[in-house]
Structure 1
Amino acid sequence: MGELENEEVNQLVAKLLSDYGKGRDIDKMAVFNQPDRDKVVLITNKLLRLVFPGYYRDQVYKSYNLRGNLTVLIEDVLYNLSGQIEIVLCYDEITKRADAGEEASLSPEESAKFKEQAYCLALTF
Structure 2
Amino acid sequence: MDRSDKQRIEGIVQRILDDFGDDRAINKTDLCNEPDKTAIIDVIDKLMKILYPGYYSDKLYKIYSLKNNMSVIIEDVIFHLKKQIMIVLRYCKKFPELTDAELEDKAMDITYEFMDKIPQIRDYLETDIQAAFDGDPAAGSKDEVILSYPGLYAISVYRMAHELCLLDVPMIPRIMTEHAHSVTGIDIHPGATIGKYFFIDHGTGIVIGETTIIGEHVKIYQGVTLGGLSTQGGQKLKGAKRHPTIGDNVTIYSGASILGGETIIEDNVVVGGNTFITNSVEKDTRVTAKKQELQYKNN
Match for 2:99 among 110, 113, 119?
Answer: 110
2:204 match: none
Equivalences for residues 6-21 of structure 1 within 5 A: none
- Candidates 100, 109, 117, aligned match of 1:120: 109
TM-superposed CA distance for 1:90, in Å, is 2.4
Q: Distance between the aligned counterparts of 1:111 and 1:123, measured in 2? A: 18
Give the Cα–Cα distance (whole angstroms) in 1 for the partners of residues 101 and 78 of structure 2. Answer: 17
1:62 deviates by 5.0
Matches of 1:77 and 1:57 in 2, distance apart? 14
SS at match of 2:92: helix
> For residues 55 and 123 of structure 1, what CA distance do their matches in structure 2 show?
24
SS at match of 1:120: helix
Any gaps of 5 or more consecutive residues in structure 1? 1-27, 98-105
**Structure with higher helix content:** 1
Q: Deviations over 1:34-79 (max 9, x none)?
A: 21000000000000000011211327x8575222111111000000
User: Given residue 104 of structure 2, which amino acid in structure 1 is its aligned partner?
Assistant: K
Over aligned residue pairs, what C-alpha RMSD do you find?
2.8
Partners of 1:80 and 1:113 in 2: how far apart? 17
2:50 match: 50
- Larger fraction in strand: 2
Q: Distance in 1 between matches of 2:39 and 2:58?
A: 17
- Does 1:37 find its partner at 2:37? yes
Closer, same or farther: CA 77–66 of 1 in aligned 2, 3 Å:
same
Q: Which structure has the greater CA radius of gyration?
A: 2
SS of structure 2 residue aligned to 1:54: helix
Amino acid at match of 1:44: I
Contact preservation (8 Å) 1:90, 1:111 = no
The separation in 1 between residues aligned to 2:57 and 2:71, in whole angstroms, is 16
CA distance in 2: counterparts of 1:120 and 1:42, whole angstroms = 21
Q: Using CA pairs below 8 Å that are at least 6 residues apart, which structure has the higher relative contact order?
A: 1
Q: Distance in 1 between matches of 2:49 and 2:99?
A: 34
Q: Give the distance between the partners of 1:62 and 1:83, measured in 2 at CA.
A: 27
- 1:91 Cα deviation after fit: 3.8
| Residue type at the aligned position of 1:88 | V
C-alpha distance in 2, partners of 1:35/1:92? Answer: 13
Describe the SS at the equivalent of 1:73: helix
Of all paired residues, the percent bearing the same amino acid is: 33
Instruction: Write the letter of the residue equivalent to 2:103.
Output: F
- Aligned 8 A contact 1:43 1:77 in 2: yes
User: Which residue identity does 1:117 align to in structure 2?
Assistant: K
Q: Distance in 2 between matches of 1:57 and 1:91?
A: 34
Structure 2 CA distance for aligned equivalents of residues 84 and 40 of structure 1: 7
Runs of 4+ that moved beyond 4 A:
61-64
Structure 2 portions without partners, runs of 5+ = 1-24, 115-299
Partner of 1:74: 74
Counterpart amino acid of residue 110 in structure 1: T
